[in-house]
Structure 1
Amino acid sequence: MKSSNTSACRPWSIAATVLLASMGSANAASWTQDFSTCSNGAKVSNSGAYSAWDPCGSGTTTDVRVGAVATSGSTAISASVYSWGGGGLGVVNVNEDPNATGPHAVDSYGGIDALVLNFASTVSLSSFQIGWNGTDNSYNGYNDSDISVYAWTGTAANGPTTYNKSDSSWKLIGDYFDVGASNNSSGNLVAGGSAGVSTTTFSSYWLISAMGNSDSKIDAFKLLSVSGMTSTPPTGVPEPGSIALLGLGALGMLAVRRKTTANR
């Protein structure tokens, strides 16, 4: 009995498989959005007026709007975004006085504050950088900087119907403790620190929130920048050379199959 030559078709099969896979794959573009360029001391946006979210900041992408949300227990409360220039973006909720002396940060005092980032396309975060924070700069009881990151995984065409993190449409991506220079993050006592985000989740809506955990400390930080990747759809249309290579691969496999059948 003659041996089979079916193994000879494997190179053709592998090449065709790889080519097909590459034709359907998506590309990812990296970017960083810098919020330190926003006007110092300026009120950026109000809670509830999400159509007027301000696209402040600069970087390799400007397709992001910023909003503020806060919760007291399970109840959503009004909040606004404030920019502190090189210090980063903070939040002032309805239980806080924007005219009083204070960090006016994303914090867990008088409610759990969060910044909402709404991107024009689906993105995956890879890191974030904070400026002023309670870990490095303890001030009037603001003495911690535990941070939580959430991504919206809902399916509603118009985006989230709630920005309460307890809703199942918000997926916890990670908790990051004591983010700041003193925990070996990058930066210094003024610039704060950074944390890497490890996730395969892509979304147009992200929450960067004070954690407000039960360690008897008040979390507080200001957001300087976020980095990530934007998912771009595959072209879906193969080039003529790719089509020709696939055709040759198919002919090669057919020829080997016929020869194998004849030799049995």
Structure 2
Amino acid sequence: MSLEIMMKKVTIRKLAASAVLVVGTFAASQASAVAITLPNSDFETGTLSSWSTIGSVSASASTSVTTFDNTVWSIIAAQTTMGALQSNGSSVTDIESALGIAAGTLNALNTNPNGGSLTNGSALYQAFAGLTGDTLSFAWNYVATDYIPFNDPSFAVLIGPGGSVDVLASIHGLGVPVGTSGNSGWQNYTGTLGADGNYTLAFITTNDKDQILDSWLFVDNVAGTCQPNCPPVGVPEPGSLALLGLGLVGMRLRLRKVA
């Protein structure tokens, strides 16, 4: 066997070994990813223990929300209790500051076709540590008591290495657009960690243009029910899903600063 042929065979073996090592490393990293369960993620303590809050937030059972035109939505927890956020009690500037988010981050995703500016709101958040690929999953339900041209968006914010901001719902902007006096129904949120590190998961709901007719955001570990005519559990329609990949102009805004 010539020296040239022998060298080629050795090279091929090295490449094959390298490929096995890469695949093995990738498989190991994938296998290590887990679904994280935060303390009191189902709120069945009947309290907000393990969570921090800003503004008007409570642990609530069935809650009836009446809109400006006297539409009544009854939102019911999966078991006995859920987190309930009403968009009053703190300025959006103070919420961003408390969470370590750059000023204007939330308003940049308030895509109100009529123009607007976020005024006040509330936040529910919890710190935790995780590894690359780990996930957190929650169910949420958004109710608007206001009407177009107001927008009143709600958000899920994953603060940490490679964190993100997702618009969950609004009256007529990004996320699930519910319309005047609308209800999103119970929807699913999943956040995936982009790197090992310390994180904070925050849910936020806000007012746009004024501070009069509040938005509501309900959070639970799994979907509850709502009456009357609760839309089915699901995710944003395809037109909204397409926005997820558009970076700064889409539903997801990457955070450049880690708190």
Q: Which has the larger radius of gyration?
A: 1
Q: TM-score, normalised by structure 1?
A: 0.43
Q: Of the two structures, which has the highest relative contact order with CA contacts closer than 8 Å and spacing of 6 or more?
A: 1
Q: TM-score, normalised by structure 2?
A: 0.43
